[in-house]
C-alpha cells in the first residue's frame, strides 16, 4: 500500500445532494463530514492519483530508463542484488514517489512498483527509502496487480469512513432517523472509490498483446 503523504487535492466539505433536508439532517451531515473530512480528502487524493496511473498504463510504451545524467537507480534492500533501474514515475506526492522499475536478475528482467521516499525523511530513516510494493516479470501484470490492490484499499477506506459516520450519528443524534445523511456520505465516498482501472487495463493489455504478439516489452 502506498504511503499517503502530501496535501490533499480537494478542500472543504462536499455539499449534500439531498433535497428538502431538515435542520437536523443539515447539522448531522456537516458534523459527520467534519469528522471524516481528512479521510475523505485522502480517499479523493489516492483515487485521483490512481486514475492518472491508469491513464499512463493504457499508453505504456517501451520501458527505457530516463535520459542519462539523471538519478535512475535505487538500491535494493539486500546489498548483493542489482539496483533497481527507474523506468517511469507513476505518481508523485509531496514527500514520496511511486515508480515503475526494472532490474536484471537470474531469470531475466524483473519489474517492480516501488514507493520511494527521500533518504532524509522520517519514514525512510526507520524503514528505508525503498518500499517494493509489487514485483513480476511482466510490467503490465505488475501494474495490474498494484492497481487492483490499491483499488481494494479504497474500498476498505470507504467502509471505514461509513462505519465512522454511522457511529457518530448514532451517538450524537440518538432516536433520529438520519439514514439519508449516512447514505449520502457513503454514496459520495463510493463515487470517489468507484474506479474501473483493473478491468480497463486488463482489456487494453489483452488487445495490445494480440496486436503485438511476439514483441518484447521493455527489453534491457
What is the reported pLDDT for 215?
32
Q: What is the CA radius of gyration of the chain?
A: 21
Alpha-carbon span 44 to 31, nearest angstrom: 19
Three cell numbers at 85? 533501474
Lowest mean pLDDT among 129-133, 173-177, 183-187: 129-133
Query: Given pLDDT bands bounded at 50, 70 and 90, which one contains residue 122?
Result: very low
What is the reported pLDDT for 167?
96
pLDDT at 109 over 70: yes
Quote the percentage of the chain above a pLDDT of 70: 67
Average pLDDT over residues 74-97: 76
What is the reported pLDDT for 193?
83
Mean pLDDT over each residue of the chain, to the nearest integer: 76
Three cell numbers at 127? 524503514
What is the reported pLDDT for 62?
61
Closest CA to 66 of 96, 86, 91, 82: 86
What is the reported pLDDT for 19?
86
Buried b or exposed e, range 79-111, using 16+ CB within 10 angstroms:
eeeeebbbbbebbebeebbbbbbbbeeeeebbb
pLDDT in tens, 126-147: 445 678 899 999 988 999 899 9
What is the reported pLDDT for 208?
41
Regarding beta strands 84-92 and 130-136, do their DSSP bridges make them parallel or antiparallel, or are they unpaired?
unpaired
Residues 6+ apart with CB under 8 A from 104: 82, 110, 220
What is the reported pLDDT for 195?
54
Query: Given pLDDT bands bounded at 50, 70 and 90, which one contains residue 198?
Result: very low
Amino acid at each position: 500500500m502506498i504511503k499517503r503523504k502530501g496535501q490533499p487535492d480537494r478542500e472543504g466539505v462536499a455539499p449534500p445532494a439531498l433535497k428538502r433536508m431538515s435542520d437536523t439532517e443539515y447539522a448531522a451531515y456537516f458534523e459527520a463530514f467534519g469528522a471524516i473530512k481528512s479521510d475523505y480528502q485522502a480517499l479523493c487524493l489516492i483515487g485521483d492519483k490512481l486514475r492518472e496511473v491508469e491513464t499512463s498504463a493504457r499508453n505504456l510504451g517501451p520501458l527505457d530508463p530516463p535520459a542519462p545524467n539523471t538519478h535512475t537507480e535505487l538500491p535494493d534492500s539486500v546489498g548483493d542484488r542489482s539496483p533497481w533501474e527507474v523506468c517511469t514515475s507513476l505518481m508523485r506526492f509531496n514527500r514520496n514517489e511511486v515508480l515503475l522499475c526494472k532490474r536484471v536478475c537470474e531469470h531475466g528482467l524483473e519489474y517492480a512498483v516501488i514507493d520511494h521516499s527521500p533518504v532524509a525523511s522520517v519514514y525512510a530513516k526507520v524503514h528505508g527509502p525503498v518500499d517494493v510494493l509489487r514485483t513480476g516479470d511482466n510490467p503490465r501484470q505488475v501494474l495490474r496487480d498494484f492497481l487492483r490492490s490499491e483499488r481494494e484499499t479504497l474500498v476498505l477506506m470507504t467502509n471505514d469512513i461509513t462505519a465512522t459516520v454511522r457511529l457518530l450519528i448514532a451517538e450524537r443524534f440518538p432516536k433520529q432517523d438520519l439514514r439519508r445523511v449516512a447514505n449520502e456520505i457513503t454514496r459520495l465516498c463510493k463515487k470517489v472509490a468507484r474506479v474501473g482501472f483493473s478491468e480497463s487495463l486488463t482489456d487494453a493489455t489483452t488487445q495490445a498483446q494480440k496486436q503485438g504478439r511476439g514483441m518484447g516489452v521493455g527489453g534491457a
